[in-house]
A and B are shown apart, each in its own frame.
Chain A
Amino acid sequence: MDVNETAPPSDARAVVLVIDADKSFVKTCRQALEGEGYKIIVSPSGKQGLEAAKAEAPGVVLLDWKAADPSDIAGFDLLDELVDVNSDIVPVVATADATVDAAVEAMKMGVFDFLSKPVSPEKLLETVRQAVGISEMQREAETKEEKADKYDLLLEGLDVLGEAYSIGLEKRQFLDDLARLENVAKSNAASRGEAKTREEAIAEIHDDLLDADAIMWNYDFQKNALIQILLDVQEKFRWLPRHILNWISGRLNIPLKDILVIANFYEAFSTEPRGRHTIQVCTGTACHVRGATETLTRVSAALGIQPGETDAKQRFTLETVHCLGCCALAPVVQIGSQYYRDPSQSQLAKLINSLEGAGGAEEATTGKEA
């Protein structure tokens, strides 16, 4: 299910509570959301808002960070009370007083998004759609106990993302990363027979970032360990996903540009997704004089991809490598951790089929250990 493309459901889940005395903002909300099937409940004060939250059980609440009336409950306190009433509510802040400090504070508290007024109707709709998506997922998780873990993960993920803003990562960057990940998921959907929801994508990013943190931890978050860190990331993910590079950039305080220069300079790194299996044809001198060029042409023809390419289904990546250090086997082809001396066409076909048939990366690691 893709939240962006399905029409918002018309049942009670799509209730959006707007706690705001700002009439023009309320008008924008109605314009942007009611036509799309969302039910809008407006409360001009925090106190009324809390009542409404109890009575209507909205999935999403839009609130200002500052109250018009100083005696009214607002901001941090209001959020607290709202969560007490309904812990599943997804809060979105829209305020004219959008300071960085406020944004950081809000994000740390798990606010889904922090909008600066005036907000365009398009932006508002987009944000509410996402927030409703989260809210739906939370409810789903509640109704199905086995999904409870994922729900925790998501909240944890939002915490991590909140932390990311606090160390200077751009929110926009995260959304870009998310969109990219979703696109990848969509394009893979056909081949893998699965599609990711936005929530799953977030959970996945969250996992990735935790993994990246664990790797950086091993190097004490030292800047000069960047190459070693990237090598570990490459090994774990088989490539360097942009959202992880963004994350590392923020964590180590190294400009993304500098990381990309390193990623492009060294051959070990790939900034494009790689296949589940890497097929390396050695083109070291010893292999070259014993016919590696012909071997490469044959392997390339058998896989249907050129050296350096990955097939559309991300099964195989074909690489050339300068010397694997087993020149006696020249010309040699390495698949997974196994070496083959100049495999014939039928041998190649069998090998490729066995990898693909198993479909899993695990298969490639069995056999003779290298």
Chain B
Amino acid sequence: MSRIATPGDLVKLRDRLNAKRNAKATWLAVCAGTGCRACGAMALADKFEEEIEKRGIGDKVGVRRTGCHGLCERGPMVMVQPAGESYFGIHPENVPAVLDQVETGKGDVEQFRYLDEEGGKRVSKLSDVPFYKHQNRVLLENNLWGDASSIEDYIALGGYSALAKALTEMTPDAVLNEVKEAKLRGRGGGGFLAGRKWESVRKAEGEPKYVIVNADEGDPGAFMDGSLLEGTPHSVLEGLILGAYAIGAAEGFIYVRQEYPLARKHAQLAIDQAREYGLLGEDILGSNFSFDVKIHRGAGAFVSGESSALMSAIEGHVGEPRPKYVHTSEKGVWGKPSCLNNVETWANVPHIINKGAAWFKGMGTAESTGTKIFSLVGKVKNTGLVEVPMGITLRDIIFKIGGGVPAGKQFKAVQTGGPSGGVVPEALLDLPVDFDELTKVGSMMGSGGMIVMDTNTCMVDTARYYIRFLAHESCGKCVPCREGTRQMLNILDRIASGEGREDDLGLLEELAEFMQAASLCALGQSAPNPVASTLKYFRDEYEEHIREKRCRAGVCTALIAYEIDQSKCKSCGACQRACPAGAIDKGGKDGKVFTVVQEKCIKCGACFSACPDKFNAVTKVPALSIKR
């Protein structure tokens, strides 16, 4: 492939590519996101290709390995394009059935269609699956229709048309104004207006200027940015190039988290391809504008997702934040003006340039425009990636799209905003989700992690989980964060092990206030949120742990014990075989049934899950009842 020298060439190439795509009547889009790959999606795609060749239908049917389709819970999945029929839970042995269906319409595929529990009917089209029906997929749409590692697919789907438009029809100021006008806010959690940030970098003195993609998505339980970058890396890259044009930057970085090898691979591939096609490098599309990008791999540090820390890491130093009296927009990487936005923010830019600020503002609320991607995980039926207009309620996301909590359990709370956010109880589920509303109730929208919790989730344990994470990830530079998280963890450990004191809750609140006021960066300032919000809405659970030494969710291991119900045990031995600690023996009734030897038990729950449902003999009981 030779360079695309002018915007006209790009249009011609797009026509050619589309003709090539349309030459085949059917494409099978196999989801090859991290989640589906983990379930064997790559072997599935290989099998499809093999079988297609065997049947000699290669001229009619093709295979695409696309980005994450979103409904990870039902993976691996395949979508028949352009018809839109979808099959879930497909494994290599099911390939012939799907191809039969494609060829003759008589394949045995009914079992792989989505079962709508409410209607009790099978749904054939992806757009009719409730999970998708209530979404508004703008950014994630390419994940369905294009091969994740193909620039040709991206161009065929309209990719780089925003870049061509900007470079030929718009001045850098016009691009900047469009983004300002769209009121695009940073998707990483802070919600700062991207246009305003761009403008201050543009106005700042100093050359060269840098633009940076923050793909150091460190919130545990969030994988929006990773999925975007691995599924449609070119849209992030195009956004970055547009930003560089608007700001006047000649060089950019993509800072990718170490735990995302696939995102890194695809981002590198995208950069190489864009260079080859003349969309990166010197004189892009004959416009005299030159720009290039490098990938910087993160080395595993949550705090390095903070802007000044990330820039320090790019320079090759320890990724610690620094005080912000000098903004990174004025003095960032190597002391030069630098503009950092996260993956999702950059990915929005091509859409804004293509369709205009007015279109963008048509989605979402007045102050939070556009769509937002959430990773909906935890105790929810439809785990996956969700893109919705801002302002939608939590209830709609969790129940309409997510399908609610799995059968037999009750919803308890949803945690948003990652370690910097908090929990939202059932009573507040009708709150609209945007940058401002969730903050008012002690949580935040954050970068988009949404962890659903049911009655089997302990709120003390949840707070302890986040504080342990933050205590570990605190860089230790400032005292309030370093010592604050550590002391909070001590107190929470104490409460979780049944040794909490009456005044511990007051102490936690005092610490929280101090850390919010005095920490250096956002990590420390927001660190108390998980504690403060669980205390606010679930104080009774804390009090139970302290006063009654009881964990109602049965999570805090020090407060629970496993026991085998002598009357229910049928001596099948499943629990004994499962126990890694040798803590189960036949010491029960007449030496015939099993019992747990409490002294040896490590409380791993292996026996609990191993005991067949029909017997249900292994139970969790409060530890106190055993000691008696």
Q: Is A158 an interface residue (CB 8 A)?
A: no
A-chain residues with CB within 8 Å of residue B577 when the two chains form the complex: 345-346
Say which one of B33-41, B146-154, B426-434 lies at the interface with A: B33-41
A283/B220 contact (C-beta < 8 A), A268-B258, A339-B38 known: yes
Say which one of A64-72, A143-151, A259-267 lies at the interface with B: A259-267
Provide 29 A-B residue pairs closer than 8 Å at the C-beta atoms, listed in order of the A residue: A224-B314, A227-B299, A227-B313, A261-B318, A265-B318, A268-B300, A269-B300, A284-B221, A285-B219, A285-B415, A285-B466, A289-B453, A289-B462, A298-B604, A321-B259, A322-B218, A322-B220, A323-B220, A325-B34, A327-B375, A327-B383, A329-B38, A330-B383, A344-B606, A344-B610, A345-B577, A368-B37, A369-B42, A370-B261
Known: A285-B465, A298-B605. 10 other contacts (CB 8 A): A225-B316, A266-B300, A294-B605, A294-B606, A301-B581, A325-B223, A328-B72, A328-B383, A330-B378, A339-B38
Is the beta-carbon distance between A286 and B299 smaller than 8 angstroms?
Answer: no
A294/B604 contact (C-beta < 8 A), A267-B300, A326-B72 known: yes
B contacts, CB < 8 Å to A: 34-35, 37-40, 42-43, 72-73, 75, 218-223, 226-227, 258-262, 296-302, 313-319, 375, 377-379, 383-384, 415, 418, 449, 451, 453, 457, 462, 465-466, 469, 475, 557, 577-581, 602-606, 609-610
Indicate the member of A268, A323, A338 with the most B CB atoms within 10 Å. Answer: A323
Q: Is A315 an interface residue (CB 8 A)?
A: no
A327/B35 contact (C-beta < 8 A), A285-B415, A285-B451 known: yes
Contact for A297 among B35, B301, B316, B602, CB less than 8 A = B602
Is the beta-carbon distance between A267 and B605 smaller than 8 angstroms?
Answer: no
Q: How far is the CA of A302 from the CA of B579 in the complex (A)?
A: 10
Q: How far is the CA of A284 from the CA of B449 in the complex (A)?
A: 11
Q: In the assembled complex, how far is the CB of residue A358 from the closest CB belonging to chain B, in whole angstroms? A: 20
B-chain residues with CB within 8 Å of residue A328 when the two chains form the complex: 35, 72-73, 75, 377, 383-384
A-chain residues with CB within 8 Å of residue B557 when the two chains form the complex: 293
Within 8 A of B (CB), among A265-310: 265-269, 283-291, 293-294, 297-298, 301-302
Q: In the assembled complex, how far is the CB of residue B218 from the closest CB belonging to chain A, in whole angstroms? A: 7
How many chain A residues touch the partner (CB < 8 A)?
49
Contact for B34 among A225, A227, A301, A370, CB less than 8 A = A370
Q: Is A364 an interface residue (CB 8 A)?
A: no
Q: Is A361 an interface residue (CB 8 A)?
A: no
Is the beta-carbon distance between A289 and B316 smaller than 8 angstroms?
Answer: no
A-chain residues with CB within 8 Å of residue B462 when the two chains form the complex: 289
Is the beta-carbon distance between B38 and A224 smaller than 8 angstroms?
Answer: no
Q: Is A108 an interface residue (CB 8 A)?
A: no
Is the beta-carbon distance between B580 and A302 smaller than 8 angstroms?
Answer: yes
B-chain residues with CB within 8 Å of residue A225 when the two chains form the complex: 316
Q: In the assembled complex, how far is the CB of residue B118 from the closest CB belonging to chain A, in whole angstroms? A: 21
Q: Which residue of A lies closest to B303 (CB)?
A: A265
A-chain residues with CB within 8 Å of residue B301 when the two chains form the complex: 265-267
Contact for A298 among B222, B318, B383, B606, CB less than 8 A = B606
Q: In the assembled complex, how far is the CB of residue A170 from the closest CB belonging to chain B, in whole angstroms? A: 24
A344/B223 contact (C-beta < 8 A), A228-B296, A327-B72, A329-B39 known: no
Chain A 186-200 interface mask (CB, 8 Å, partner B; 1/0)? 000000000000000
Q: How far is the CA of A21 from the CA of B577 in the complex (A)?
A: 79
Chain A 342-370 interface mask (CB, 8 Å, partner B; 1/0)? 00111000000000000000000000111
A-chain residues with CB within 8 Å of residue B415 when the two chains form the complex: 285
Count how many pairs of residues, one from A and one from B, have CB atoms less than 8 Å apart in the complex.
Answer: 167
Q: In the assembled complex, how far is the CB of residue A331 from the closest CB belonging to chain B, in whole angstroms? A: 11
Chain A 15-29 interface mask (CB, 8 Å, partner B; 1/0)? 000000000000000
Is the beta-carbon distance between A323 and B221 smaller than 8 angstroms?
Answer: yes
Q: Is A332 an interface residue (CB 8 A)?
A: yes
Is the beta-carbon distance between B377 and A224 smaller than 8 angstroms?
Answer: no
Q: Which residue of B lies closest to A320 (CB)?
A: B472
B-chain residues with CB within 8 Å of residue A321 when the two chains form the complex: 259
Within 8 A of B (CB), among A164-211: none
A301/B453 contact (C-beta < 8 A), A324-B259, A327-B35 known: no
Is the beta-carbon distance between B227 and A289 smaller than 8 angstroms?
Answer: no
Q: In the assembled complex, how far is the CB of residue A13 from the closest CB belonging to chain B, in whole angstroms? A: 49
Is the beta-carbon distance between A369 and B37 smaller than 8 angstroms?
Answer: yes
Is the beta-carbon distance between A290 and B605 smaller than 8 angstroms?
Answer: no
Q: How far is the CA of A269 from the CA of B301 in the complex (A)?
A: 11
Q: Is A226 an interface residue (CB 8 A)?
A: yes
B-chain residues with CB within 8 Å of residue A63 when the two chains form the complex: none
Q: How far is the CA of A261 from the CA of B35 in the complex (A)?
A: 34
Q: How far is the CA of A301 from the CA of B579 in the complex (A)?
A: 10
B-chain residues with CB within 8 Å of residue A231 when the two chains form the complex: 258, 297, 299
Q: Is A223 an interface residue (CB 8 A)?
A: yes
Is the beta-carbon distance between B378 and A285 smaller than 8 angstroms?
Answer: yes
Q: Is A89 an interface residue (CB 8 A)?
A: no
B-chain residues with CB within 8 Å of residue A268 when the two chains form the complex: 258, 298-300
Is the beta-carbon distance between B300 and A224 smaller than 8 angstroms?
Answer: no
Q: How far is the CA of A209 from the CA of B38 in the complex (A)?
A: 36
B-chain residues with CB within 8 Å of residue A267 when the two chains form the complex: 299-301
Contact for A327 among B221, B313, B466, B606, CB less than 8 A = B221
Q: In the assembled complex, how far is the CB of residue A35 from the closest CB belonging to chain B, in whole angstroms? A: 53
Q: In the assembled complex, how far is the CB of residue A352 from the closest CB belonging to chain B, in whole angstroms? A: 11
Indicate the member of A283, A289, A325, A327 with the most B CB atoms within 10 Å. Answer: A325
